[in-house]
Amino acid sequence: MSNHPVEPILFVSISARGHLNPLLTIAGELAARGRHGLCFAADDDARSEIEALTGESEVEFVSLGPQARTLNPTLWDDEAYKAATTQSKWKNWVALMREALDVNTLTEKYLVLDAEVERLKPALMVVDSETVYAVDVAMTRGIPFVLSVPYPVSGFFLPLLPKDYPTPLSGLSQRMTRAQRLTNRLLRLRFLTLPLQKGMPKKLMAYMKVRKQLGIANPTGSVAAKIDEATAVFAYSVFGVEYPFPAPEKLQMLGAVVPSTPRFETHSLTRWLDEQESVVHMGFGTISRLSVQQVASLVEVARRLNGRQSVLWKLPKAQQDLLPSDGEMPPNLRIEAWIPSQPEVLAHPRVRAFVTHGGGNSVGECLFFGKPLVVAPLWLDCHDLAARVADCGAGLVVTDTRTFDADEVTAQLTRVLNEDSFHERARHWAARQRAAGGVGRAADLIVGYADRLGAG
């Protein structure tokens, strides 16, 4: 057991990368500054990354056991993944909730974390907003906590949104037609029917029963209660990219949280980037599972860019079997199964644009470095982020996400690369992101909260 010179600051997150990464970055910044008493509770697969955060001080890894399949979409079977990625955004949301509302897993994680919190006695917890068992532990034990919201933060403040505000997960733009406004209002009402959807009443009743038995302070899981009790809510965007709405003072719009120190200065990938004249980066996150047709289309896009652009594509090893076997890859295409640091790739001066699924981290990091985007939304909140990218003028959206039509993707990418307005708007949002403070401001706020609460 570690001896903590101060009452700990405890970070907690599920293993899904989009949720884990911002907290890894913030904890790493605090470790680099020499802040003592840092702990990070997560599933065992995150151990090596958390222990590697050591800087002037260490970050203690706190095990919450093996990965929970239902809480990490990268581990879902194909049937569950397909159910959450249909053409119906409503059906996708219902499928996600059915999968994630796993009473046994949530109860087990709650009990393990609760025991660790009893041992550590943290003065402050910094928790991912979707890591429900962590919020429950903090509220039940009366421990001050900061909520980390890595998706469009308006989705967390649904009750505060004006009636004509684009409903979370709708993919609607702020500039709606009359028909879209009607669709938007109907979708807002439909959210109220979620507990009545097939299979949900039984799951919810079992979950409420267990929560009451455990004595959880927020037995219904009310989001409004979480917001009221939170010391602060961290969001990783800025208003102007995120559509403005009436927000409480505790909401901190930080811009993207990007590591302040490089991770792979001498990596061979850096040398390759240095040697290129102009590079398009392609990456679709850890959840997305591309089809044979989508992969073939993206190879064709790279082929059409040959002679004008080099292409760096992060394609997981498990999906590289989908690459066309009947022909050579374009000579301008480099495929990597894993990239040590996406922010460093996007920061590289040779990288001029990013083709992405539109995850919150990817969009924020790209705009932080002033690069325009082409967004092909493949997952729930990605549709909302795609609309925001288009509306803020920093990129374009692929409409044919089923096949990634090569003609459309090439045309959108050519516009983004060649039209000055996209680069100008991307640079504008880079300045706004940096002014918001990013990881430095996040660390300052956490230190301030912790010191005020007696952790330092």
Strand pairing class (351-356; 333-336): unpaired
Using the predicted structure, report yes or no on whether residue 250 has a pLDDT greater than 60: yes
**Joined tokens for residue 285:** 């996150």
What's the rounded Cα separation, in Å, for the pair 250 and 300? 47
Domains and CATH numbers, the chain: 9-255+437-452 (3.40.50.2000), 268-435 (3.40.50.2000)
Task: Provide the pLDDT for residue 418.
Answer: 97
pLDDT digits (tens, 9 = 90+) for 176-197: 999 999 999 999 998 889 888 8
Of residues 33 and 267, the one with the higher pLDDT is 33
* Category of 246 on φ-ψ map: left (φ > 0), alpha (ψ -120 to 50) or beta: beta
Using pLDDT thresholds of 50, 70 and 90, give the confidence band for residue 4. very low
For residue 359, the model assigns a pLDDT of 94
Q: Which two tokens stand for residue 91?
A: 């059906």
Mean pLDDT across 149-178: 94
Q: pLDDT of 412-448, one tens digit each?
A: 999 999 999 999 999 999 999 999 999 999 999 999 9
Model confidence at 333: pLDDT above 70: yes
Higher pLDDT, 298 or 194: 298
Looking at the predicted structure, is the pLDDT value of residue 3 above 90? Answer: no
Position 164 confidence tier, pLDDT thresholds 50, 70, 90: very high
Q: What pLDDT shows up at residue 191? A: 84
Residue 360: count other Cβ atoms within 10 Å of its Cβ. Answer: 25
Taking CA atoms, 95 is separated from 124, 198, 199, 380, in Å, by 33, 10, 10, 11
Task: Return the pLDDT at 245.
Answer: 95
User: What pLDDT score was predicted for residue 327?
Assistant: 75
Q: How confident is the model at residue 456 (pLDDT cuts 50, 70, 90)?
A: very low
Per-residue pLDDT at 27: 97
- Mean pLDDT over all residues of the chain? 93
Mean pLDDT value of segment 336-356: 94
Rounded to an integer, the average pLDDT of 346-370 is 96
Q: What is the tens place of the pLDDT at every residue in 56-79?
A: 999 999 999 999 888 889 899 999
- pLDDT value of position 268: 84
Please give the pLDDT value at position 234.
Answer: 98
Banded pLDDT at 241 (limits 50, 70, 90): very high
How distant, in Å, are the alpha carbons of 26, 82, 125, 228 from that of 117?
Answer: 20, 37, 10, 22
Per-residue pLDDT at 403 exceeds 60: yes
% of the chain at pLDDT higher than 90? 83
Q: What is the mean pLDDT of residues 162-189?
A: 94
pLDDT tens sequence across 133-160 = 999 999 999 999 999 999 999 999 998 8
Phi, psi of 352 (to 5 degrees): -110, -15
pLDDT at site 262: 61
Output the pLDDT for position 264.
Answer: 53
Output the pLDDT for position 328: 86
The answer to whether residue 5 scores a pLDDT higher than 70 is no
The pLDDT assigned to 165 comes to: 96
Confidence of residue 267 (pLDDT cuts 50, 70, 90): confident
- Mean per-residue pLDDT for 208-228? 94
Judged against a pLDDT cut of 50, whether residue 220 lies above it is answered with: yes
pLDDT at 181: 95
pLDDT value at position 159? 86
With a CB cutoff of 8 Å and minimum separation 6, the contacts of 42 are 12, 13, 14, 15, 20, 50, 61, 62, 64
- pLDDT of 137: 98
Q: What percent of the chain has pLDDT over 70?
A: 97
Least confident range from 83-87, 226-230, 305-309: namely 83-87
Please name the residues in contact with 22: beta carbons below 8 A apart, sequence gap of 6 or more. 148, 150, 234, 236, 257, 361
